[in-house]
Amino acid sequence: MSASILDGKATALRLREQFRDQVAALAARGQRPGLAVVLVGENPASTVYVRNKVAACEAAGIYSENIVLSADTEPARIIERIEALNRDPRIHGILVQLPLPPHIDEATVLAAVAAHKDVDGFHTENVGALALGNPRFIPCTPRGVMALLASAGIALCGREAVIVGRSNIVGRPMARLLLAADATITVCHSRTRDLSFHTRRAEILVVAIGRPAMITADMVKPGAVVIDVGINRRADGSLCGDVDFASVREVASWITPVPGGVGPMTIAMLLANTIEAAQQAANQTERFLAA
Ligand code: GUN
The dihedral sign for the CA sequence 102, 108, 112, 118: positive
Predicted confidence (pLDDT) per residue in 32-74, tens digit: 999 999 999 999 999 999 999 999 999 999 999 999 999 999 9
Look at residue 291 in the predicted model and tell me its pLDDT: 86
Is the predicted pLDDT of residue 1 greater than 80, yes or no? Answer: no
Predicted confidence (pLDDT) per residue in 131-184, tens digit: 999 999 999 999 999 999 999 999 999 999 999 999 999 999 999 999 999 999
Between CA 11 and CA 25 the distance in angstroms is: 22
- At 234, give phi and psi (nearest 5°): -80, 170
Look at residue 274 in the predicted model and tell me its pLDDT: 98
Residue 286 C-alpha to ligand 1 middle, in angstroms?
A: 32
The yes-or-no answer on residue 105 being catalytic is no
Residue 97 C-alpha to ligand 1 middle, in angstroms?
A: 5
**Catalytically annotated residue among 120, 228, 242, 244:** 120
DSSP-assigned letter for residue 101: P
CB 255 within 8 A of CB 249: yes
Strand partners, 120: none
| Residues 278-284, mean pLDDT to the nearest whole number | 95
Predicted confidence (pLDDT) per residue in 234-258, tens digit: 999 999 999 999 999 999 999 999 9
Core vs surface per residue 184-203: b (16+ CB within 10 A) or e: bbbbbeeeeeebeebbbebb
Query: Radius of gyration (Cα) for the chain, nearest Å?
Result: 19
Task: State the chain's mean pLDDT as an integer.
Answer: 97
| Residues 258-283, mean pLDDT to the nearest whole number | 97
Q: CB-based contacts of 140: which residues, under 8 Å, 6+ apart?
A: 119, 120, 121, 266, 267, 269, 270, 273
**Catalytically annotated residue among 7, 22, 31, 97:** 97
